[in-house]
Amino acid sequence: MISPATPYVLTLLVTALLCGAIFTIVWRYRKRNSSAILFSIAWLACFLWSFGYAGQVGSGQLTGKLFWFYFTHIGIVLFPMSVFVVTLQYVGREEWFTPRRLVYLTIVPIAMLVFIWTNPLHQMFMSHLHVETNTAGFNILVGQREIGFWLVYALGYLIIVSAVAFALQVILTTSGIYRAQLGALLLGTVPVLIANLLFLLGVTPFPDFNLTPYTFLSMGLSFALGYRRYQLLEVTPVGYETIINNISDGVVVLNANAVVVNFNAAAQRITSNQQWVSGVHIRHYLPDWDDLLAESITAIARPQEVVFNHGDVTDYYELRISPLYDNRGSLTGRLVLLHNITERKQVEQAHLLQNEYMEALHETSLGLMQRLNLSELLADLLERAGQLLDAPHGYIYLGDPSTQRLKLEVGRGYFEAFVGEFVGTTSGLAGKVWHTGYPLLVANYDSWPDRMPDFEKEVLGAIMAIPLNSGSEIVGVIGLAKDAHDGARFGNEELEFFTRFAQLGSIILDNANLYMEAQMARAAAEAANEAKGNFLANVSHELRTPLTSILGFTRMIQKRFEERVLPEVK
């Protein structure tokens, strides 16, 4: 004879079989889709609930029904937790899963199960459990629901209703396939909630008979719809928070009153020394907000530059402000985007500085071409280089062939007092450069082991020196130094620029030598011309003296001839 409970047991087993089949299908996607594992846990909970309840209904004795009663609650406790976790993960709220919350999510269901399984000891979940025959003619397990029962189910409902609320929020704010996927999931979950609520309230055709497992059939149909039509496991949405937090630009969402509502991780990194806090006016982070906002709503709105300082590091950002409107066209807030342009700014500044250097070199070259005094030329060169490189101290040493030492020809700042003095060709920074023939940078002159012992401390900071060449021969050394208390250092760009000044100094020295050689050649030529003139004058004088006598004697003979000979001939 077939038991009256058989049809119910068979349908529950069919439901369990369906849940198990869906679990198997979803589990295959675990390597391609991280959501698949969480979906699998939810369907495993449905399987345990359906299979356990089938065992509870099919058992005729109290002992068997109690075993399956406690077994069924594994699925009952696991179901709301799994739905909650899969919903949060699916809508992109992974940041909610902090280590502490994950511990709670693990402890809570375990604590609930321990509480339920120890019910025979404390009778705080259900009491007076016994078997009765219902109106359908089969035995069911009934008992008195205690306070623990209502607390467990209230907590379960709170968890699953929170998941539904998250899903509804995304459905109302998204469109397309993701909305359809969430709609399919929600369509399958709501009947489960309604059926279980009716069971708890006693509004069922058969009192104390739970119809909730049967709603897993509709849940399976909804899941199949999402799987086949909306590619539920193939195309999963990337949550808003995931997208925003993976954007390299800083994103800040404001409400209509310019109060911070949300921000991403990049925005937090931009102001690492000042934590972003929701509910604070944006002016707290951007003091010039009013001016920035006014500029952004002009007819020609352009990106604006803002600066954030992190200690000694300055970062430049391009700021854009975009209004946010609702469906009725009302302003609901603003979106602030901060794009890091520090690298571009540094390149622009480098080009600008390079142009300034080139212009300064050009002007210096033109100015020096007008002058011939070597000391003045070198002094002007050192002055211009120091001004452009923000170095108040400087020197130019020239080699002295007579002493085989270096003579300080020109000094600036601290070195001005040492003009005319000599140093060895291996002494100090200038001597090192003269000896090696290579430029030398020193970050802190006071701590440099080869510093000149006679120089005062706490005067010179960073210092650099470059050889002055004439062809392949080193003829001098030019150097610049910063104040000791400045703290600034010379970089490769400054060294490159200073090298060009040194090349200009070498040209000046070459031109000066050429000028001196030309002057000497001119003096020699003038002396030769003068000697030649004197020689010709002497020769002319010597030649003129005998000719005068001859001419005089000739005139005298002619006169005698005319006076004496001609008359006799006539």
| pLDDT tens, the chain, 570 aa long | 577 788 888 999 999 999 999 899 888 887 776 678 888 888 899 999 999 999 998 888 899 999 999 999 999 999 998 888 888 877 766 666 677 777 777 888 899 999 999 999 999 999 999 988 877 677 888 899 999 999 999 999 998 888 888 888 777 766 566 677 778 888 888 888 899 898 888 887 777 788 899 998 888 888 888 777 776 766 555 555 566 667 788 888 888 888 887 778 788 777 765 677 777 888 888 888 888 887 777 645 567 888 877 766 788 888 888 888 866 777 888 888 888 888 888 777 777 766 766 666 666 665 555 555 667 777 887 888 888 788 999 999 988 877 788 989 899 999 998 998 888 888 888 888 888 888 999 989 988 988 888 888 888 999 999 998 877 788 889 999 999 888 788 888 788 878 877 777 677 666 655 555 556 766 766 776 776 666 566 655 555 556 565 666 666 666 666 666 566 655
Domain 6-239, CATH number (from 1.20.1070, 3.30.70, 1.10.10, 1.10.3470): 1.20.1070
Q: Does the structural domain 247-340 have CATH classification 3.30.450.20?
A: yes
Among 409, 533, 523, CA closest to 476: 409
CATH topology of domain 348-517: Beta-Lactamase (3.30.450)
For residue 380, give every residue at least 6 positions away whose Cβ sits within 8 Å of its Cβ, in sequence order, or none: 364, 367, 368, 371
Indicate the domain borders of the chain: 6-239, 247-340, 348-517
Residue pair 41/23 in contact (Cβ under 8 Å)? The answer is no
Among 56, 80, 213, CA closest to 140: 56
3-state secondary structure 338-375: EEECHHHHHHHHHHHHHHHHHHHHHHHHHHHHCCCCHH
- Residue 334 vs residues 252, 293, 366, 507: alpha-carbon distances, Å: 8, 10, 55, 61
Count Cβ atoms below 10 Å from residue 413 Cβ, excluding itself.
19
User: Same CATH topology for 247-340 and 348-517?
Assistant: yes
| Concatenated DSSP letters of 494-557 | HHHHHHHHHHHHHHHHHHHHHHHHHHHHHHHHHHHHHHHHHHHHHHHHHHHHHHHHHHHHHHHH
Q: CA-to-CA distance for 180 and 171, rounded, in angstroms?
A: 8
For residue 180, give every residue at least 6 positions away whose Cβ sits within 8 Å of its Cβ, in sequence order, or none: 226, 229, 230
Q: In the prediction, which pLDDT does 299 show?
A: 44
Task: Write down the pTM of the prediction.
Answer: 0.50
> What's phi and psi for 335, nearest 5 deg?
-110, 125
Q: What dihedral do alpha carbons 212, 217, 223, 227 form, nearest 10°?
A: 160
Q: What dihedral do alpha carbons 406, 412, 413, 416 form, nearest 10°?
A: 50
Q: What region does 311 belong to: left with phi over 0, alpha with psi -120 to 50, or beta?
A: left
Q: In the prediction, which pLDDT does 176 show?
A: 63
Strand pairing partners for 20?
A: none
